[in-house]
Structure 1
Amino acid sequence: MERSIRFYKNAKHEWYADIPEWAGALDELQMVEGADDLLNWIAASANECNLLLADQHFEQAEILELVYIREENLGGGGDYILENFRGEVKNHRLWLCHVTEFVFKQLPERIYFKEISFD
């Protein structure tokens, strides 16, 4: 499964995923608990970025590894670790909520990603 998603910052500098078919609340699309830090690294000083996300490896992909599946009472979704990013050791832990399961139809063991441009 492969999917391109746009991420953007609002006026309060909070990151959100742009998923038009999402029928839930907007706050469920907010990127928090480390996912916002990752987007800041990717976007640098920009207020948005576009990522190609997949549950299968592709060329030049960065890798998020699932380390813990959260129970629903802890927010659901999963905790992932980004061991390396752009050739630098990070060991950065982040949480991806149940929206991840909506996008991938599961909680992938690995999520492969890279920044892309939408033309």
Structure 2
Amino acid sequence: MLLLLSVILAVTLMPGSQKAPSDKAIFTFYKEPHGTWYIDLPDYPGPKGDLAMVAGADDMLDYLARGEKRVKVEMSEAPFNGALEMVRVKKDEPGSGAYYKPVNHHIQSVWLCDVTLYALGKFPEKIYFRAVE
């Protein structure tokens, strides 16, 4: 997603920011008419294409959005009420992202690109998340 596992940025997290694992962040994701999901990070310094949600993250957003074209997703490294869980299964070389396995979910794999480092500051071992709108 998880994002996943694409989010209006309610909390801006800059790379390297010090954040407690129990802190929650809310991101907004939107789906364009051609079907691609994007995370809404207006201050992201790279090209829009970097913000595309692909390789399972798009499927997770379809699930969370329940047919809508926009969804806000709350995320944390610590469990919280109503949250789904993704566990990191593989972290590639820098520039190659990380793979996560959603726990107890039909989606088998979610790849998160290095924009995750911009948004969360790292690739957490676990990501807990839920749709909040």
TM-score range, shorter chain: 0.7 to 0.9
Give 1:104's aligned residue. 120
Number of the residue aligned with 2:44: 22
**Counterpart secondary structure, 2:104:** strand
Deviation at 1:16, TM superposition (A): 0.4
RMSD, aligned α-carbons: 1.3
Rounded Cα–Cα distance in structure 2 between residues aligned with 1:17 and 1:68? 22
Mapping for residues 58-77 of structure 1, pairs under 5 Å: 58-72=80-94, 75-77=95-97
Give the structure 1 partner of residue 77 of structure 2.
Answer: 55
Deviations 1:64-90 (CA, angstroms, capped at 9, x unpaired): 100000124xx52200000224xxxx2
Between Structure 1 and Structure 2, which shows a larger proportion of strand residues? 1
Q: Which runs of 4+ in 1 moved over 4 A?
A: none
Shift of 1:4: 0.5
- Provide the rounded CA distance (Å) in 1 between the counterparts of 2:80 and 2:24: 10
> Measured at CA, do residues 54 and 101 of structure 1 come closer, stay the same or move farther in structure 2, by a change above 3 Å?
same
Q: Sort the Cα spacing of 1:68 and 1:19 in 2 relative to 1 into closer, same or farther, 3 A.
A: same
Instruction: Output the CA distance in 2 between the equivalents of 1:99 and 1:78.
Output: 11
User: Which residue does the alignment assign to 2:68?
Assistant: 46
Q: Establish whether residue 12 from structure 1 lines up as the match of residue 34 from structure 2.
A: yes
User: 1:48 Cα shift?
Assistant: 1.1
**Aligned counterpart in structure 1 of residue 129 of structure 2, from 85, 104, 113:** 113
Higher relative contact order (CA 8 A, sep 6+): 2
Q: Does 1:80 align with 2:96?
A: no
Identity of aligned pairs, percent? 32
Q: How many residues align?
A: 111
Q: Which amino acid is the alignment partner of residue 38 of structure 1?
A: M
Contiguous gaps of at least 5 residues in structure 1 = none
Measured in 2, the distance between the counterparts of 1:46 and 1:97 equals 23
